[in-house]
């Protein structure tokens, strides 16, 4: 069977694209390995009509809505390689060795995070430590908060200040603040701690304090940490897609990459700002681009 499009990634971007293409009666398959970037988060925010929903529930509802369109298939499999099979289509191999043929590909697998090198951070991440204040700042409003980052710490601190004035910046010994940035933070009564973080204290995912290398405990009930991110696969690079200025996949307004018949949507392409509703929007736009291109090619 030759699919008109294979979507790699079943998050908001991939599901939105599947909905649009399903309604356009296109033969598509969505491949997803249930390894979402926000899988450790208990609630997703900022998605109109679904504010506070569990991420897995949002995906479940999306699949349920799309299931009524018979031309859409869902496969809980992992794609491991993509190769061009000439000018007309691509061949994708699954982890089980199956070969999938498709005319077009939508890369929508998002990003994967690597948390700062702080002992025990995984016990709190997604419950009282987060990465995006736009996603979780409201829930931590007016609490004693920490900002922990190796890079872009000033920017993150300035954003978090919107939600809480009781803020301490931890550079964790990296010293990524300029003298001017330190002056600006001090002017807002934001304390800066340059000591190395030795550990985090708390129970059941709730942060209580941050322990410094000399044993000092600094009381904090929440934190925002800036993780390092990477692409979960090398498909864009292998296919020759050009990156954008942020390290994402360069696309036009309809998700077209610099490689013919390859499209991208969601966090993998639209690195900043990163929000579920933005990812969903780029998935919808990419699907319109895919359908439009298929239509134009049919009438050539």
User: pLDDT tens digit string along 226-272?
Assistant: 878 889 999 999 999 999 998 999 999 999 999 999 999 999 998 88
Mean pLDDT, rounded, for 169-182: 90
Portion of the chain with pLDDT greater than 90, in percent: 82
Domains and CATH numbers, the chain: 2-111+231-298 (3.50.50.60), 115-225 (3.50.50.60)
User: pLDDT tens digit string along 126-165?
Assistant: 999 999 999 999 999 999 999 998 778 999 999 999 999 9
pLDDT at residue 169 tops 80: yes
Write down the pLDDT at residue 289. Answer: 98
Write down the pLDDT at residue 40. Answer: 65
pLDDT at residue 39 tops 80: no
Q: What is the pTM of this model?
A: 0.92
pLDDT at residue 4 tops 80: yes
pLDDT at residue 185 tops 80: yes
Write down the pLDDT at residue 37. Answer: 63
Write down the pLDDT at residue 227. Answer: 79
Q: Which of 32, 33, 47, 55 is nearest to 106 (CA)?
A: 32
Res. 115 pLDDT band, cuts 50 70 90: confident
């Amino acid at each position: 069977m030759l699919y008109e499009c294979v979507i790699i990634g079943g998050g908001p971007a991939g599901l939105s694209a599947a909905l649009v293409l399903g309604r356009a009666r296109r033969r598509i398959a969505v491949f997803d390995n249930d390894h979402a970037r926000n899988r450790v988060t208990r609630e997703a925010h900022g998605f109109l009509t679904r504010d506070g929903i569990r991420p897995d529930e949002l995906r479940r509802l999306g699949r349920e809505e799309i299931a009524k369109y018979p031309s859409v298939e869902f496969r809980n499999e992992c794609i491991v390689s993509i190769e061009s099979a000439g000018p007309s289509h691509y061949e994708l191999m699954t982890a089980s060795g199956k070969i999938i043929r498709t005319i077009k590909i939508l890369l929508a697998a998002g990003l994967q995070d690597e948390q700062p090198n702080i002992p025990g951070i995984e016990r709190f991440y997604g419950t009282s430590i987060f990465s995006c204040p736009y996603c979780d700042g409201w829930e931590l409003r007016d609490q004693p908060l920490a900002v922990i980052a190796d890079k872009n710490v000033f920017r993150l601190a300035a954003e978090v200040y919107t939600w809480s004035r009781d803020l301490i910046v931890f550079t964790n010994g990296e010293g990524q603040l300029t003298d001017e940035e330190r002056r600006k933070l001090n002017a807002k009564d934001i304390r800066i701690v340059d000591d190395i973080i030795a550990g985090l204290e708390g129970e059941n995912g709730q942060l209580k304090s941050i322990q410094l290398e000399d044993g000092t405990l600094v009381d904090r009930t929440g934190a925002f940490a800036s993780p390092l991110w990477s692409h979960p696969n090398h498909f864009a690079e292998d296919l020759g897609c050009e990156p954008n200025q942020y390290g994402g996949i360069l696309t036009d307004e309809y998700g077209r990459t610099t490689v013919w018949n390859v499209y991208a949507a969601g966090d993998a392409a639209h690195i900043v700002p990163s929000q579920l509703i933005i990812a969903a929007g780029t998935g919808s736009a990419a699907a319109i681009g895919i359908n439009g291109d298929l239509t134009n090619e049919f009438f050539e």
